[in-house]
A = this chain, B = another copy of it.
Amino acid sequence: MEQLLQSLKIGINEKIFIKDPESSDLGKRIVEESIIMIHQMGFESFTFRKLGTKIKSNESSIYRYFENKHKLLLYLTSWYWGWLEYQLVFSTNSIPDAKDKLTKAIEIMTRETKEDSAFSHINEVLLNKIVINEYSKSYLTKEVDTENKEGYFVIYKRLINRISNMIKALDSSYPYPSSLSSTIIEGSLHQHFLKEHFSSLTDCNENISPTEYFIDLVFKSLKS
């Protein structure tokens, strides 16, 4: 599994970047440091100028990789969802029982990323936190529909569909497989956020994980 992820390249829509950041050392440093900086200062305060200073490169060089910071966020989050998708596929592929499969899938989708795989320049622990705090900003824009047509959200959509299909496989009579799937994925991010910042609005804490909550929620909804 870890070997597989090591050698894997996540296929990101080429329209998201101008020049593939995986294709050069500078590109990788842009990605690596942007994750650290966005995590530290938040997406709003993060700028290409600051990133340039940090990686001792030039602002204009960064613009040769990404049109703007919104595209960079799309790149980072696409990478994250692609990475999660690999984990989902590898971990559930061999499970024959539909219920076991869905259980495992929910586990993967709702757990906190706790270890950096340390193979690549990408810190998955920080990236997970970025996704929790910033992902919705990538689609809550006036440009969603255009960007959706351009395919900027394909990986995310494919992921939600995979879970939706697992739900259907377990209970074909359930009327809301897509809504339930999107609730698990977006809801999980939200519960993780609440745990950190609005603890009175969630039951999740050190003892109760979002995974527990969603497993309960899903299997009470489905015939199984």
Contact = CB atoms under 8 A, between A and B. Distances in A.
B200 A157 contact: yes
Contact of A197 (B133, B145, B190, B200): B145
A78 to B, nearest CB: 15
Interface of A: 41-42, 44-45, 133-134, 136-137, 139-142, 144-145, 148, 153, 157, 160-161, 175-183, 186-187, 190-191, 193-194, 197-198, 200-204, 208, 210, 213, 216-217, 220-221
B177 A203 contact: yes
Contact of A202 (B133, B179, B194): B179
Contact of A182 (B41, B144, B202): B202
Contacts of A176: 203, 208, 213, 216-217
B221 A216 contact: yes
Contacts of A175: 203, 208, 216
Contacts of A178: 200-203
- Most chain B CB neighbours (cut-off 10 Å) among A144, A175, A201: A201
A218 to B, nearest CB: 9
Contacts of A190: 182-183, 186-187
